[in-house]
Structure 1
Amino acid sequence: MSYELIAILMFALMMLLMITGQRVFAAIGFVAVIFAFFLWGTGGSEMGFNQAMKIMKWYPLLTLPMFIYMGYVMSETGIADDLYKMFHVWFGPVRGGLAIGTILLMVVISAMNGLSVAGMAIGATIALPELLRRGYDKVMVTGVIQAGSSLGILIPPSVVLVLYAMIARQPVGQLWLAGVFPGLLMAGLFVLYIVVRCLIQPQLGPVLPADERAMPIKEKLKLLSAGIAPFFIFFMMTGLFLMGVTSLVESSAVGAVAATIVAVAKGRLTLRVLHTAVRKTLGISCMFMWIIVAALAFGAVFDGLGAVKAIESFFIDQLGLTPWQILIMMQLSYLIMGMFLDDTAMLVIVAPLYVPLVKLLGFDLIWYGVLYTITCQIAYMTPPFGYNLFLMRAMAPPEVSLGDIYRSIIPFVAVMLLALVIVMVFPQIALWLPQHLYLRQ
């Protein structure tokens, strides 16, 4: 049996196991270990164990539980509520201002969490009811929250970029820095869309009533204090890291401690909140650990089969495609898979093939990590099985139907595709910051 056929069988069996409802890490890890055993005998059966030992030695992975814990402390202690109230007052007098404030809230939450699910939970429980009560169009604001929450996997500290760094063997710090400007670009495009849409159709985003806008400037300035705590946490975590005071792992620990100190200072860190944050952190961290182990084992088998060389030969020698044509085909395949799989499943399935191929084609792996993450954001919101679509359906009030949710994502997916094209055409949007800071250090 040829190695190409073995590779196809591995993918087919893995997809079959996923269709039957098996967990992603279990399906991928099982296929990797079984095929390793049959290909290389008893020595191959140790491949899974070897990858587990490798992950235990990967020091930057300690950042994962720290950032997840920090995000859950922010969410459970109501710090996000204070932020939204600040944005509500300051942007309320502008048409579509509360939707703009929601996007800015998501940017701040993303900069302290690294997961989209936290932004979705905060947006759906805090912002959505308020936006609907104020007469905002339910279709538009549903899309705003889904799009804004997706920023969590691009703006540092992105957990998805940590996973990509592990599989692609790239520095996490550079990947985080590479996600800053593309994330802000996408957030800016979201805001621009809301402004233009509300100028054309003012009824979609009405301004606050005059009596609510008549707040003394002293009270408005006092509300700005809600941004002090998030800024303090962000500075302690990211600012010290960028200045070279702390290492990557140290910055994650500092961020976790800073979030805990802020929660204690506000008198909101109860035993119930701490228990909930720690329990959720443990669950998410363990899930990612298992996925990484399975991905490494799967990738090791593919390396042994030489599947990457076979795919390179197929695309370049047999089809005669240029490197850019191959890259575009890769992104299209992510978009198609994203309709059925989540971001971690996509990365684990195709990274063993795509990452080495991207390197062979001469593209920068840091830049490609940003492209992958943007594509994941789009996949989060595309039917029939977009992750954010189902989260929104579970959290939205009864008046928001599934049809409303599906229609809401159309303009925002178009904006994300525009951002993807811009970053592809102008790679320095992603690469300038990591190159500038790392060359300076």
Structure 2
Amino acid sequence: MLSAMGIGFATLFILVSMIVLLLAGMPLGFLTGFVALGVSYLWFDTGAVMQMVAGRVSDFTEGYTFVAVPMFVLMASLLDKTGIAKDLYNAMRIIAGRLKGGVAVQSMAVAVVLATMCGIIGGEIVLLGMIALPQMLRLGYNKNLAIGTVVAGGALGTMMPPSIVLIIYGLTANTSIGDLFLGAVPAALILAGMYMTYILAICHIKPGYGPAMDAEELGQLTRADLIKIARDISMPLMIAVWILGSIYGGIASVTESACMGVVAVMIVATLRRELTFTVVFDALIQTIRTVGMIIWVGIGATMLIGVYNLMGGDKFVSNMILSLDISPLTVILFMMAILIVLGMFLDWIGVAMLTMPIFVPIITQLGYDPVWFGVLFCVNMQVSFLSPPFGPAAFYLKSVAPPDISLTDIFKSVWPFIIMQIMTMGILIAFPEVITFMYS
């Protein structure tokens, strides 16, 4: 029996089993569930344990707040299938095109606006990859700068509320999602501000990196053009205000605001005469696939963590970390390093489900705010979205990038943005009040 070897050996056995199965190509959702069943049998040899684990899985999938996940994914899918985001980009391009690096900066600004309506990175990166990247390359932008802007900007969807990452963290850590949304806003704006500052600085130092659009291409704007620009910018902003305003104003819960967001996007799409049966059907199919993946990963991770905690694993890890002769700040930095390494190989959902039930009680014992730690986790996951070898943002962009842009080109382009993400983590660790003042 595995129990005779002790919890330390069992922990090592679980880690090795997961690595071997990952290398064998087993999907993470099935992998974690398979390991949970095997370890449960070897440690307990009883079916009662799995009944308790089944109860945890049921609580996870039946949680009222979890309804927000498919709603926000559906909203992002509808934006992806309609022309709302495309027209927003084209309108802002005309405004920012006269500035060196302006098209890249406005691409980042569009990414922030889209982030307030999406909460996921896939659709946003694909959208920017199809619209912004060809435009910047056509205008003569440095290839690496254009690629990095699209990938890093698209990943902001997981930072700016309504972020799916924050929702999943709130569910796993049993933390207020409303407070997480409030705390994430300044962190997301700091990160986006650093991106924009970097773009403007490098285009000022090296003008050839981001040339301005010529006056002939921008042309003379007529009254009709100005009205169209105003409409194309105001409608997406109204959706963002509708969603975030309902949450922060106390009008609706996170789940209710997700439903309101779907309604808002459908109303705007109807006014634009773009809400067709095909658009809705394709958006629903995309939503089912995305949410199905999230649920399966969540079920598997919940099973594994449930079994591991029943074995005493949470106490083992907690006692091991707290017994080390290191400062609480060093513990936080150690956790951030672990998350970065895990994020290089695992999907963020799996990282959250596997680590947060163990990490959050430890940081609470150390006297840290779990909401602050949740925002830190979200910034940390920005690194995982971009970093090789399995950064999902790179693969999303590769799926729509021109054929001459390779994965190697994409991963080479993201390093300045990864450095800025790590710098943002450092700022939030050194000055936690940047986050906490929003909800305290």
Residue 213 of structure 2 is matched in structure 1 by 208
Stretch deviating more after TM superposition (87-96 or 245-254): 245-254
Match of 2:38 in 1: 34
TM-score (norm 2): 0.95
Q: Write the letter of the residue equivalent to 2:128.
A: G
Note the C-alpha offset of 1:193.
0.3
Mapped contact 1:143–1:412 kept (Cα < 8 A): yes
Contact residue 53 and residue 306 of structure 2 kept, 8 A: no
Contact 1:335 1:378 (8 Å CA) reproduced: yes
Equivalent pairs: percent with the same residue?
29
The separation in 2 between residues aligned to 1:177 and 1:32, in whole angstroms, is 35
Of 5, 8, 22, which residue of structure 2 is paired with 1:4? 8
Mapped to 1, the partners of 2:278 and 2:219 lie a distance apart of: 38
Instruction: Return the match for 2:96 from 91, 97, 115.
Output: 91
Structure 2 unaligned residues grouped into runs of 5+: none
2:161 match:
156
| 1: CA distance, partners of 2:338 / 2:278 | 43
Q: Is the 1:114–1:153 Cα contact (8 Å) retained in structure 2?
A: yes
Amino acid at match of 1:231: L
Residue of structure 2 in register with 1:236 after alignment: 242
**Aligned partner of residue 399 in structure 2, secondary structure:** helix
Query: After the TM superposition, which residues 210-359 of structure 1 pair with which residues of structure 2 at under 5 Å, given as runs?
Result: 210-216=215-221, 218=223, 219-220=225-226, 222-317=228-323, 319-359=324-364
Higher mean alpha-carbon deviation, 85-94 vs 408-417, is at 408-417
Residues in 2 aligned to 1:191 and 1:141: alpha-carbon distance in whole angstroms? 12
State the one-letter code of the partner of 1:330.
M
Q: Does 1:111 align with 2:146?
A: no
The question of 1:199 aligning with 2:221 is answered no
Q: Summarize the Cα distance change of 1:429–1:201 in structure 2 as closer, same or farther, 3 Å threshold.
A: same
Q: Does the 8 Å CA contact 1:37/1:44 hold for their aligned counterparts?
A: no
Q: Deviations over 1:47-74 (max 9, x none)?
A: 3421232124411111111111111111
**How far did residue 188 of structure 1 move?**
0.6
**Offset of residue 217 of structure 1:** 6.7
TM-superposed CA distance for 1:165, in Å, is 1.2
For 1:141 and 1:53, the matched residues in 2 are separated by 44
1:378 CA drift (Å): 0.8
Cα contact 2:318–2:358 (8 A) shared by 1: no
Query: 2:339 is paired with a residue of what secondary structure?
Result: helix
**How far is 1:386 from its partner?**
1.5
Paired amino acid for 1:386: G
Q: Provide, for residues 182-208 of structure 1, a one-character-per-residue CA deviation record: whole Å limited to 9, x for no partner.
A: 001100110000010000000110011
**After superposition, what is the alpha-carbon deviation per residue over 1:296-327, rounded to whole angstroms, capped at 9, x for unaligned?**
2222222222223322332332x311111111
Q: Please give the TM-score of this superposition, normalised by the length of structure 1.
A: 0.94
- In the TM superposition, residue 15 of structure 1 has moved relative to its aligned partner by 2.3
Is 1:24 paired with 2:19?
A: no
The answer to which of 40-49 and 108-117 deviates more is: 40-49
Q: Does 1:396 align with 2:401?
A: yes
Contact 1:36 1:45 in 2 (8 A): yes
User: How far is 1:238 from its partner?
Assistant: 1.6
Q: Out of 117, 130, 134, which is 2:135 matched to?
A: 130
Once the two structures are overlaid, the 10-residue window that deviates more, 348-357 or 15-24, is 348-357
Question: Structure 1 stretch 380-389 or stretch 140-149: which is displaced more?
Answer: 380-389
Gaps of 5+ in 1: 436-441
CA distance in 1, matches of 2:172, 2:301: 7
The letter for the 2-side match of 1:5 is F
Q: Residue deviations 1:257-285, cap 9 Å, x none?
A: 11111111110011111111001111111
CA distances 1:24-49 after superposition (whole Å, capped 9, x unpaired): 11111222233234433120122342
- Helix, strand or coil at the partner of 1:207: coil
Contact 1:106 1:149 in 2 (8 A): yes
**SS class of match (1:434):** coil
User: 45-54 or 269-278, which moves further after superposition?
Assistant: 45-54
**Alignment RMSD (CA, Å):** 1.6
Corresponding residue number in structure 2 for 1:370: 375
Partner of 1:438: none
Paired AA for residue 402 in structure 2: P
Mapped to 2, the partners of 1:264 and 1:392 lie a distance apart of 29
| Contact 2:92/2:233 (<8 A) preserved | no
Cα separation, 1, equivalents of 2:264 and 2:28: 34
Q: Which amino acid aligns with 1:343?
A: W
Matched, 1:73 2:78: yes
The alpha carbon displacement at 1:415 in A equals: 1.1
Partner of 1:360: 365
CA distance in 1, matches of 2:267, 2:228: 21
Which whole-Å CA distance do the structure 1 matches of 2:185 and 2:333 have between them?
23
Secondary structure of the 1:395 match is: coil
- Using the TM superposition, name which of 135-144 and 386-395 deviates more: 386-395
Contact conserved, 2:22 with 2:31, CA < 8 A, in 1?
yes
| Aligned AA (1:73) | L
C-alpha separation in 1, matches of 2:341 and 2:50: 33
Deviation at 1:177, TM superposition (A): 1.6
SS of 2:80's partner is helix
Distance in structure 1 (CA, Å) of the matches to 2:26 and 2:59:
25
Structure 1 counterpart of 2:17, which letter? L
**8 A Cα contact 1:90 1:220, kept in partner:** no
CA distance in 1, matches of 2:357, 2:140: 48
Residues 142/14 of structure 1: CA separation in 2 closer, same or farther (3 Å cut): same
Deviations 1:237-273 (A, max 9, x none): 2212211122222111111111111111110011111
Which 10-residue stretch deviates more, 16-25 or 180-189? 16-25
Name which of structure 1's ranges 236-245 and 133-142 shifts more when overlaid on structure 2.
236-245
Distance (whole Å) between structure 1 residues aligned to residue 407 and residue 29 of structure 2? 29
Q: Tell me which moved more, 341-350 or 414-423.
A: 341-350
Distance verdict in 2 for CA 1:19–1:48, change over 3 Å:
farther
State the match for 1:181 in structure 2.
186
What's the CA shift for 1:102? 0.5
